[in-house]
Structure 1
Amino acid sequence: MRAIADFLLITAAFLLPWWVVLLCAAALFFVFERFFELFLVAFLMDLLFAVPLPRFGRFEFVLSFGSVFLYLILNAIKKKMRI
């Protein structure tokens, strides 16, 4: 089940906008225990599509960095919900 979800999430990284992929990853975070694939998909998308942005100091891995914060926020929510 998890392998199928990972395959679909990686496929979505190639086909869908970044925000849709993060929403799907956030939903899967609540389905699976310790969903570290969120980092993998964000890093993959940064490697494929990221460009240096002047507003972030020419930093290219904005999505990967943001996925760390998303993981921490989702982890806190998951603990409060006791899922």
Structure 2
Amino acid sequence: MTQEYRRVFWRIITDALLIAAVFILPWWAVLLSGAIFFFLFEYFLEMLFAALLLDLLYGVPLSRYGGFAFVVSLISVSLYIVLSALKRRMRWYALRQ
């Protein structure tokens, strides 16, 4: 198995785990596992798709958010932006030392 196949294999495994987590775990555990997987791969957009799937399956419009039903997706996008900035900063510090 070459390095590229190994990377694709692990990506498929983590995608399957994340999709299974959507059906089994609470929303915060899915976002936490997505954040962990985010640091394992270069770009982990699957975290956003898992949050969208969570909202499509279990999301209801809440009056405290103005009837907005995609709260977990919004949290996931915010988390993705923060983690991207943090990840770049961590690499910058690693290259600097």
TM over 0.5: yes
Aligned to 1:41: 50
C-alpha separation in 2, matches of 1:32 and 1:51: 31
The offset of 1:15, in angstroms, is 0.3
Counterpart amino acid of 1:69?
A: S
CA RMSD of aligned residues (A): 0.9
The residue correspondences of 1:3-82 to structure 2 (distance < 5 A) are 3-82=12-91
Calculate percent identity across the aligned residue pairs: 54
Over alpha carbons, which structure has the higher Rg? Answer: 2
Number of positions where the alignment pairs a residue of Structure 1 with one of Structure 2 = 83
Secondary structure of the structure 1 residue equivalent to 2:39: helix
Aligned to 2:6: none
Structure 2 length normalisation: TM-score? 0.83
Structure 1 length normalisation: TM-score? 0.97
- Cα deviations by residue, 1:21-67 (Å, 9 ceiling, x for unpaired): 10000000000011000110000000000011011001000111111
- State the 4+ residue runs in structure 1 displaced beyond 2 angstroms: none
Alignment gaps of 5+ in structure 2? 1-9
Counterpart amino acid of 1:48?
A: L
- Cα deviations by residue, 1:2-37 (Å, 9 ceiling, x for unpaired): 000000000000000000010000000000011000
